[in-house]
Structure 1
């Protein structure tokens, strides 16, 4: 059995970061949760609740919130959970405070816009001395924070590190499986959010369960094509952090991405939807980068490309649906 890390810091106090802090606390680790918002710091420390991002969930009193990066940097293990588009700035701000060798687990799902960098690429550029590790897989923050059964993936080329992370946060109800395929883990987590927006649009337009099943299945084909083209493994993409995460995210309006798509499908304006939300729908942010990666790797991804066009307001939803339905018939494996 690997030796667990005893002091865990969670960098980012959104819903998922707070849920992971709850997991680490349940595993009997000392937990520091870093938040930008004073309201979150006060809520966690004084009322054991994150009032902005995870209201209604009683948090373990072991969790201590802070807005000081120096306190995060003193931990034995850091779980980095900012939104994907803010990962670079967050790691850059953390860098002056870090001790040599402290492992960082990347827990955000997305592709950086502009650079088309995966989160492991961002880590390599900002903290090149760190061995990459990725936590990805199916799980809703409220379910995880309440201790409902969840399985996930810890991917790292250093399997000893992966096993230590499992020993640190693994629980009977939070079951991490180890893998060595960083690309597969990251592409699965990023693309499934884009496909979830498409499934939400179908829900909002009341296109039926068959349409959602088709989008999930053909979306999985897109996810797999891109993942393989970028060097990922088929078994990773068909596992928890690929197919598993895709099915969960696309099947429920609990997903921020699916609910965003549903609101768009109902005819609401994107600006109005976003104005009501605090949490980020990563699929909206990653869609342009995913579409660009598809073009770079010469991979056909019509659903992802349509989502990119919809959220960028380059095409109407009705026109996007018409174009997808007018695509030529072909063999399923193509």
Structure 2
């Protein structure tokens, strides 16, 4: 199958590497003016994976899109609208678009499939690829389980058939709302986990995981999704990779933030925090962990006091 991958960062690069290893014809699209893309094309590595000779590089958007049967997108979630506006100028009917990011549009509170749908026709397949896993673990040969979800059953069947291998076992998603919200919000939980690490309160991560899952489950239910999705691979199942792993950008961001140290990598949970609070207000759901993270990052409040108040001073029934 001919696949074009848009986004050549850590995850996008892995996807191109993984799919080419599955026997697909993979093209990585990047902007001609990007020094990062030029380096990638020259060296054939992003520092984590080395691309074999079957992977090609293209800086002509029309060529990259027209030749593809599948278009896989792995870019910062807040940049999706701009990209979709650009690529919607080209015929995408009959193709399938797969979103491999975890976020919610901060300015609107829209899920990423909702953003993409504004620019696609019903004849274009649309799906998400979410769940746990870090590039460093996959390239070391450590397998994991992930989820493909879509409103179109035939799209899920196509992708799981084409993407499944010994390294990743894919499950059929059954709740697009729950899986999108769950995948995005686990990054906020990851930031909170990092803050606990930075404050030497790592022991509270158990409470964080328990309360965080319940918090997001309530939001998913209010939005019309299935509450149980919060306990699936897209959210709770991704906690190890987000809450504990040394490779988690969001956990590392939270830890360094409370220590007053700079962090140069993208932490999707920062923008997602604002988006979730917007959704919480829209659907009348209280989100205390999201609000606590926002109070520290955007409100300038003392993290030790905010997190202590959140976990240690509550006197109410657990459920």
TM-score above 0.5: yes
Q: Does 1:283 align with 2:269?
A: yes
Unpaired runs of 5+ residues, structure 1, are 1-5
**Cα offset, 1:308, TM superposition:** 1.5
Comparing 194-203 with 68-77, greater Cα deviation is found at: 68-77
Secondary structure class of the residue paired with 2:285: coil
**Cα offset, 1:100, TM superposition:** 1.8
Unpaired runs of 5+ residues, structure 2, are none
**Cα offset, 1:56, TM superposition:** 4.2
Comparing 320-329 with 295-304, greater Cα deviation is found at: 320-329
In the alignment, which residue of structure 2 is the partner of 1:143?
Answer: 137
Task: Provide the rounded CA distance (Å) in 2 between the counterparts of 1:325 and 1:297.
Answer: 24
2:293 to 296, 301, 307: 307
In the alignment, which residue of structure 2 is the partner of 1:206?
Answer: 200
**Alignment TM-score, normalising by the size of structure 1:** 0.89
Preserved contact between residue 93 and residue 121 of structure 2 (Cα < 8 Å): no
Deviations 1:29-56 (A, max 9, x none): 0001123463443343332201xxxx14
Task: Provide the rounded CA distance (Å) in 2 between the counterparts of 1:252 and 1:56.
Answer: 17
Deviations 1:196-246 (A, max 9, x none): 0000000011113x2111111111111211111112223432111121112
In the alignment, which residue of structure 2 is the partner of 1:80?
Answer: 73
**CA RMSD for the aligned pairs?**
1.8
1:38-57 equivalence runs, <5 A? 38-50=34-46, 55-57=47-49
In the alignment, which residue of structure 2 is the partner of 1:160?
Answer: 154
Secondary structure class of the residue paired with 1:97: coil
Q: Does 1:65 align with 2:57?
A: yes
Preserved contact between residue 10 and residue 31 of structure 1 (Cα < 8 Å): yes
Task: Provide the rounded CA distance (Å) in 1 between the counterparts of 2:112 and 2:141.
Answer: 27
**Cα offset, 1:146, TM superposition:** 4.8
> CA separation of 1:160/1:195 partners in 2, compared to 1, >3 Å: closer, same or farther?
same
> CA separation of 1:143/1:67 partners in 2, compared to 1, >3 Å: closer, same or farther?
farther
Comparing 163-172 with 115-124, greater Cα deviation is found at: 163-172
**Cα offset, 1:145, TM superposition:** 4.4
**Cα offset, 1:327, TM superposition:** 4.4
1:219-230 equivalence runs, <5 A? 219-230=212-223
> CA separation of 1:23/1:80 partners in 2, compared to 1, >3 Å: closer, same or farther?
same
Preserved contact between residue 6 and residue 29 of structure 2 (Cα < 8 Å): yes
In the alignment, which residue of structure 1 is the partner of 2:317?
Answer: 331
> CA separation of 1:104/1:329 partners in 2, compared to 1, >3 Å: closer, same or farther?
same
Pairs aligned (count): 316
**Cα offset, 1:84, TM superposition:** 0.7
> CA separation of 1:43/1:145 partners in 2, compared to 1, >3 Å: closer, same or farther?
farther
Secondary structure class of the residue paired with 1:241: coil
Preserved contact between residue 15 and residue 142 of structure 1 (Cα < 8 Å): no
> CA separation of 1:295/1:247 partners in 2, compared to 1, >3 Å: closer, same or farther?
farther
Q: Does 1:25 align with 2:20?
A: yes
Comparing 113-122 with 173-182, greater Cα deviation is found at: 173-182
Deviations 1:270-313 (A, max 9, x none): xx32xxx2x42100111111111112111121111111122214
In the alignment, which residue of structure 2 is the partner of 1:13?
Answer: 8
2:231 to 238, 244, 269: 238
